[in-house]
Amino acid sequence: MILAKLRRRSGGGASSRTNRAGGSSLPPTPLDSGVLSCQAHDEQGRLLPDATVTVVDRLNQQIAQGNTDSYGYFVAAVPPGPHKVSVSAGGFRRKSVKVDVRVNQHVSLGAVHLEPDASLELPQPGIWKFDPTHTEIRFIARHIGMSRIHGQFRNFEGAIRVAPRFEDSRIELVIDAASIDTGVKMRDDHLRSEDFLDVENYPRLRFSSDRLSKVRGDNWVVNGTLTLRGTTSPVELETRYLGNRRWQGPGFDSDVRVACDAKTTLRREDYAVNWQATLAKGIAVVGPTIDIELGVQAVLEQ
């Protein structure tokens, strides 16, 4: 990643600076650059991994960008001169700092604390119904270990029962199994058969949450169970809360909507979906896992 830049030498390079213990405090850097570093924290001082750090020069041209590591650190070799460093992360307000970098010097911004984004206010208590015209339930499967097959379920009903303490909220989702759609009728008919969804005997897929946990910023984990083909297995959804907006579309009354994106990976064997065919080299026609993606908009029930 960014550290690779620090290992490059220009015109023979510069020797590493050493600490008092005799080890290298920084890798060799190009002779015509300096080093810039920072560590991202949230408002409570906790480390922020995967925060995005962007560095632009005085002409507003991007000269470096990367994500903080698991300890919240970012480091890059950059040209000398005045720069603006911006640190952003989901669920937090962007923070920008101006710095002056000099040749063969290390400029550390130290701890950069990000404040929560007020626009991500959690929804008020009540029953929030999924808007089917602005919600998608998609899936991706591997075919013969090469291409990806994309599809979605067209018919479903869902609701979020928001509790006074948001972590106590519950999500219920019922999907019409026969509404599966990959754009190819022959394939869809096979997916509806007893080899896969067996819609004649199991017409519904059901998801029910039992715990909502905040990770950081706009990141949540939704734990629950999915029932498919009569088999119930635990599911963990990585969820990004997108906040709420007031919207009035053609033919709609003005209303407040909340939205989120969520994803998980299911193993077919957990639901006894064991149909399998292989190619001559033993390659499975259908992969063992299915990626699930949800884009949800919900409206408060009046």
Q: Which two tokens stand for residue 99?
A: 């710095």
For residue range 172-227, list pLDDT tens digits in order: 999 999 999 999 999 899 899 998 899 999 999 999 999 999 998 899 999 999 99
Question: What CATH number does the domain containing 291 carry?
Answer: 2.40.128.110
Question: What CATH number does the domain containing 41 carry?
Answer: 2.60.40.10
Q: Which two tokens stand for residue 183?
A: 């754009």
Claim to verify: residue 82 and residue 140 sit in the same structural domain = no
In DSSP terms, which residues pair with 300 in a beta bridge?
128
User: What's the first-to-final CA gap in the chain, in angstroms?
Assistant: 50
For residue range 185-198, list pLDDT tens digits in order: 998 998 999 988 99
Which among 54, 85, 116 is the end of a domain?
116
What's the pTM? 0.74
The number of residues in the chain equals 302
Claim to verify: residue 177 and residue 247 sit in the same structural domain = yes
For CA atoms 300, 257, 210, 263, the dihedral sign is positive
The mean of the pLDDT values for the chain is 85
Residue 65 lies in domain: 2-116
Claim to verify: residue 78 and residue 133 sit in the same structural domain = no
